[in-house]
Structure 1
Amino acid sequence: MFPDITGALKSSMPNLRGKLEANAPTAPLSWFRTGGPAQVLFSPADAEDLGYFLSRLDPAMPVLVVGLGSNLLIRDGGWAGVMIRLGKAFSEITSLPGYRIRAGAGAPDVKVARVAADAGISGLSFLRGIPGTIGGALRMNGGAYGGETKDVLVEAVGLTRRGERVSFSNQQMGFSYRHTGVPDDVIFTEALFQGKPGDPETILGEMNAITEARSSTQPVNTRTGGSTFKNPPGLKAWELVDKAGCRGLRIGDAQVSEMHCNFLINHGAATATDIENLGEDVRRRVRETSGVELDWEIKRVGQALA
């Protein structure tokens, strides 16, 4: 348990409309269903409320933004600082003239793909294969099944740690593989995407094909965090993991998926430490077998238990 600072925050932010919660459980916020408490969990009422909160928050206070928690491992000691959950207020999706889509950072990627399909906007079907939110797609240049965020983004909007509104063109985002050059302390709030004219039934067919491909090759109905390691240049992480003999490898209830060995699974009782230690063991074995250093794609945050 962390010291309760919510009272002090509320007194310094009398016009705050969002919800502050002290020592909030974080396991429900992560697909792994692990992790210690967040010292403060803040659910802003809207972007204006978030900007107000940031403008009055101590710049030294650690801040972590959480969407669906699909690519996140929160360590067992929890998060010492503020965790910001972008909920329904950031989930609006609107189709616009010119085959464009505007989406809040909290909008699930799959729902953005569906709205685009219904509007006859092609080019965004790949979002169906990313189990996260638009905010995560912006931060990591999320991609799947032949498409990446950089291929369709027009503009991203966010807030600085001072609560100032900023916007970035596609070029200013500095996209690369699973990375953006935008400073880490910018919190994305919405994005504008450009698609192309398409037939709704054809687009839905593309999305259904992605759904079937994921279901047949990935452990989608388990407690997992998606792809664990980034693909090294010219290589596939899962092949390196398989070559190292790690398919099915376990530490307690944490296991390398036998279906797709770039996925780690919590079978129910695994701790975040178990999952992270398993991942590090996989990295060691791949390094010894292939001489390749795998980089984590899953974001690991917080502190370990003493």
Structure 2
Amino acid sequence: MIAAPAATTIAMPAVRGRLTADAPLAPLVWFKAGGNAQWLFEPAEADDLAAFLRDLDPAVPVMGLGLGSNMIVRDGGVPGVVVRLGKAFAKVDRVDATTLRCGGGASGILVSSSARDAGIGGIEFLRSIPGTVGGFVRMNGGAYGREVKDILVECEVVLRSGERKTLALADLGYTYRHSDLPEGAIVVAATFRGQPADPDAIQREMDRIAAEREASQPLRSKTGGSTFKNPPGHKAWALVDAAGCRGLRRGDAQVSEKHCNFLLNLGEATSADIEGLGEEVREKVKAHSGIVLEWEIQRVGTAG
């Protein structure tokens, strides 16, 4: 993470949205842990964001924040500017019989429900991903056998320079849980395409996905979603379980007993506790199986 000048020394451009110094991020992320953003910017709309980034000192780092469902914010906080897209970016519009244009702040539940209402199938899997379109696009989010690369037509981004640009699927260099989007770029919209389907059938599939998640994942806990990427030919949870890590604790951080690829904050865990537990799990898995697990959770900011 790039260091940034103290908040009091950064000249902030004029904005139409909300700009807050030293803003707590713990309430905005699922783990409910971590430090503050040096600045938190919630733009009024895409033009507001573009003008802000254009006029912001290029040395100041910028990071996007969605629902904070797959993120550890370290205890020292995040230097520079954290951009959070609000209601102005949470709209979903039907383009044609099989296509939706979705704001970068729209949730997976909103997108999948809008697709259902429009009779567009193939997008149900977004119901299971606790995040927003911006995060899905950046990380090639996926579940239940499908990924964003299977439905994305194009996305609109605001680059760190303030330039607005439309990128096609081929421009994103998608691999498993990774894209080639440049650092500091914020996804403000995406176009998804499915196929014609019966709304009742879509709803049944969404219900099946929701029930399966509820049965297998600790959704009602303070967690960060899937912690590690699945290595080729393996399931991360099974490797963690085989290494004897089910229920392993460090302070109030725990490996979920319900799903071993989830870490939990049982109460007052610090982000250092959570990340340290994750690193301990990686060491135990490597010692047991020889496989090095890669983090799927995004870890940002500086140590406390």
Q: TM-score range by the shorter chain?
A: over 0.9
Distance in 1 of aligned mates of 2:129 and 2:7: 36
Deviation of the 1:186 alpha carbon = 1.8
Query: Do the aligned partners of 2:97 and 2:120 also contact (CA within 8 Å) in 1?
Result: no
1:63 equivalent in structure 2: 62
Where does the alignment leave 5 or more consecutive residues of structure 2 unmatched? none
For residues 195-274 of structure 1, what are the structure 2 equivalents within 5 Å?
195-274=194-273
1:106 equivalent in structure 2: 105
The one-letter amino acid of 1:8's match is: A
Distance in 1 of aligned mates of 2:293 and 2:179: 19
Per-residue displacement from partner, 1:101-121 (whole Å, max 9, x unpaired)?
110111101110000001110
Instruction: After superposing the two structures, state which structure 1 stretch, 167-176 or 204-213, moved more.
Output: 167-176
Query: Do the aligned partners of 2:39 and 2:80 also contact (CA within 8 Å) in 1?
Result: yes
Deviation of the 1:96 alpha carbon = 2.0
Q: Secondary structure at the match of 1:201?
A: helix
1:123 equivalent in structure 2: 122
Distance in 1 of aligned mates of 2:164 and 2:47: 9
Distance in 1 of aligned mates of 2:9 and 2:88: 22
**Corresponding position: 1:291 with 2:294:** no
For residues 74-223 of structure 1, what are the structure 2 equivalents within 5 Å?
74-223=73-222
**Corresponding position: 1:8 with 2:7:** no
Query: Do the aligned partners of 2:108 and 2:132 also contact (CA within 8 Å) in 1?
Result: yes
Per-residue displacement from partner, 1:114-157 (whole Å, max 9, x unpaired)?
00001110010010111111111101100001111000000011
Identity among equivalent positions (%) equals 55
Query: Do the aligned partners of 1:43 and 1:84 also contact (CA within 8 Å) in 2?
Result: yes
Q: Secondary structure at the match of 1:156?
A: strand
Distance in 2 of aligned mates of 1:69 and 1:164: 25
Distance in 2 of aligned mates of 1:20 and 1:182: 25
Query: Do the aligned partners of 1:6 and 1:22 also contact (CA within 8 Å) in 2?
Result: no
1:36 equivalent in structure 2: 35
Query: Do the aligned partners of 1:24 and 1:40 also contact (CA within 8 Å) in 2?
Result: yes
Distance in 2 of aligned mates of 1:169 and 1:8: 34
Deviation of the 1:3 alpha carbon = 3.8
Q: Secondary structure at the match of 1:113?
A: helix
Provide the alpha-carbon RMSD of the alignment: 1.2
Where does the alignment leave 5 or more consecutive residues of structure 1 unmatched? none
Q: Normalization by structure 1: what TM-score?
A: 0.96
Count of paired positions:
300
Query: Do the aligned partners of 2:108 and 2:127 also contact (CA within 8 Å) in 1?
Result: yes
1:277 equivalent in structure 2: 276
Q: Secondary structure at the match of 1:238?
A: helix
Q: Normalization by structure 2: what TM-score?
A: 0.96
Query: Do the aligned partners of 2:160 and 2:183 also contact (CA within 8 Å) in 1?
Result: no
Query: Do the aligned partners of 2:62 and 2:160 also contact (CA within 8 Å) in 1?
Result: no
Per-residue displacement from partner, 1:2-35 (whole Å, max 9, x unpaired)?
94338831xxx34x20111111111011100001
Distance in 2 of aligned mates of 1:60 and 1:241: 40
1:303 equivalent in structure 2: 302
Query: Do the aligned partners of 2:255 and 2:264 also contact (CA within 8 Å) in 1?
Result: yes
Q: Secondary structure at the match of 2:225?
A: coil
The one-letter amino acid of 2:176's match is: Y
Distance in 1 of aligned mates of 2:247 and 2:275: 15
Distance in 1 of aligned mates of 2:71 and 2:58: 24
Q: Which runs of 4+ in 1 moved over 2 A?
A: 2-8
Query: Do the aligned partners of 1:6 and 1:40 also contact (CA within 8 Å) in 2?
Result: no
Query: Do the aligned partners of 1:75 and 1:272 also contact (CA within 8 Å) in 2?
Result: yes
